[in-house]
Amino acid sequence: MKDNFLTEFYNTIIGFFRQTEKKEEEQKNAKEVACNRLRVVLMQDRTNLTPELQERMRIELVDLLSKYVEMDREALELSFEPVDGQMALMLSIPVLRAREEAEIIATLSEEDLKDEEDITEETHAEEVENLDEEIVLDEEISEEHEEVLQEDSSEELTNESEDKKESEEEIKE
Amino acid sequence: MQSGILENPSQAKKIKGETMSGRVIVITSGKGGVGKTTTNANIGTALAKAGKKVVMIDTDLGLRNLDLLLGLENRIVYTIVDVVEERCKLKQALVKDKKNPNLCLLAAAQTRDKTAVTEEQLKNICEELKKDFDFILVDCPAGIEQGFQNAVAGASEAIVVTTPEMSAVRDADRIIGLLEAREEIKSYKLLLNRVRPNLIKSNDMMSVEDVVEILSASLIGVIPEDTGIITSTNKGEPIVNDEKSLAGQAYANVARRIIGEDVPFLNLEEDTSIMAKVKKFFSGLMSKEK
């Protein structure tokens, strides 16, 4: 019984001190938390990158790096941190396995082939885009023209209708 | 350092004889309520006390308050809008301070909005005032819209006021970004207001060093939180006139740094510990008496 009581007593006292320790840590953190949150927010503010753009950048980086090393696609972390007063893009990349050289070369050559196809496609695509732009421009111009035309025609119409009315009146007379 | 002080007035006189070329400093913050206007009133008063000719321009059209902090609200006849719209001459619109003839105020119009004055017009006013004054302090409205753009237009230096709070620091960072994009702003300095040494000591508030590091800007002053600010505002008398006040001393030091003196920063933490020591001493005596 006495032993039990003593151990309980000991535990409660130790627990009390641990709690106060924790509280002190939390208090220390209030300022640290503020600093860290601010650093992150300011980096985002300064880069002009929205969370969506950042995620896209992350995915593209994962795609790029996966050619050379096998990695956990979800675990790549991106962050902006100040280093020597300059903004640095920090990447944390957990590598699962190094790829064989042959494997890398194989994927790369595949890529190259794809790229060549892409290039031809892209040039086509660009041409199409250019065409689209021109068309858009044309449309804008034609719209303006149309507006002018409409104004003109509406005036004409009103004139015409007036004329008609007049002629009708004449007929009535 | 002493020779520096002695040199300054003679130089000022020399310049007075010819044409003066004053420094235009805009006081800005982004966030509202961090103490821009209070800072303006106090630095202006301190500079005037140091013998400089100072004019303060309130550009917060529609929400003017600088007149209240200086106790000049009943003396305003013409405002900056009257000058711009040529209802009076610039000199007629300058309101002289009650105590210090070196200090003038160009008040904002209370019934108009920020579009009543353009950047170009403010620039011209600043150029005109440069001829007669050593310092032109421009009180900037909160925000980053037209009011800010106007206030900054004529200035070549800036003081960014912030407090050790996240939102104020974030807004200050934004303002610094905008100031850096403006070619006419040659330098900007940070003024950290409403610092609470006790909270910093207990790690509940960001320290001066934290804010300076995060914003990577150089510091021109650290002003402690002071309840005296409230009473001084109520009386319409800037706190720099109260020499006992710690915030007043801190503002006076800022003014001296602007003039070019090398003044060490007040050690706010040490001060509180002295108070603590005094308290301890007296409580010790009390207990002995018992």
Residue B236 has pLDDT above 60, yes or no: yes
Note whether B122 and B59 are within 8 A (CB): yes
- Nearest chain B Cα distance for residue A34, angstroms: 7
Q: Report the C-alpha dihedral over residues B166, B172, B173, B179, rounded to 10 degrees.
A: 180
Which tokens is B64 given?
């003017």
Q: How confident is the model at residue A119 (pLDDT cuts 50, 70, 90)?
A: low
pTM: 0.68
Query: Which of B167, B176, B214, B215 is most worth mutating to test chain A (most A CB atoms within 10 A of its CB)?
Result: B214
Task: Tally C-beta pairs within 8 A across A and B.
Answer: 41
Residue B139 has pLDDT above 50, yes or no: yes
Q: What's phi and psi for A80, nearest 5 deg?
A: -105, 130
- Nearest chain A Cα distance for residue B236, angstroms: 35
Separation CA B221–CA A90 (nearest Å) = 34
Q: Determine whether the interchain pair A35/B206 forms a contact, defined as Cβ–Cβ distance below 8 Å.
A: yes
Cα A46 to Cα A29, A50, A80, B127, B211: the distances in Å are 25, 11, 10, 33, 16
Q: How many CB atoms lie within 10 A of CB B62?
A: 14
Q: Identify the burial level of B236 via C-beta atoms within 10 angstroms of its C-beta, where 0-12 means exposed, 13-18 middle and 19 or more buried.
A: middle
Say which amino acid occupies B128: E
Q: End-to-end CA distance of chain B, in Å? A: 52
Q: How confident is the model at residue B33 (pLDDT cuts 50, 70, 90)?
A: very high
Q: What is the mean pLDDT of residues B107-130?
A: 94
Q: Determine whether the interchain pair B177/A38 forms a contact, defined as Cβ–Cβ distance below 8 Å.
A: no
Q: How confident is the model at residue B277 (pLDDT cuts 50, 70, 90)?
A: low
Q: Report the C-alpha dihedral over residues B187, B193, B199, B201, rounded to 10 degrees.
A: 40
Q: Determine whether the interchain pair A45/B174 forms a contact, defined as Cβ–Cβ distance below 8 Å.
A: yes
Q: How confident is the model at residue A163 (pLDDT cuts 50, 70, 90)?
A: very low
Which tokens is B218 given?
């150089």
Nearest to B203 among A27, A37, A45 (CB): A27
Q: Determine whether the interchain pair B207/A34 forms a contact, defined as Cβ–Cβ distance below 8 Å.
A: no
Residue B7 has pLDDT above 60, yes or no: no
Q: What is the mean pLDDT of residues A111-126?
A: 68
Residue A171 has pLDDT above 80, yes or no: no
Q: Determine whether the interchain pair A38/B169 forms a contact, defined as Cβ–Cβ distance below 8 Å.
A: yes
Separation CA A109–CA A161 (nearest Å) = 73
- Considering only CB atoms, which residues of chain A are within 8 Å of chain B? 27-32, 34-35, 37-39, 41-42, 45-46, 82, 85
Tell me which of A17-26, A137-146, B43-52 is least confident: A137-146
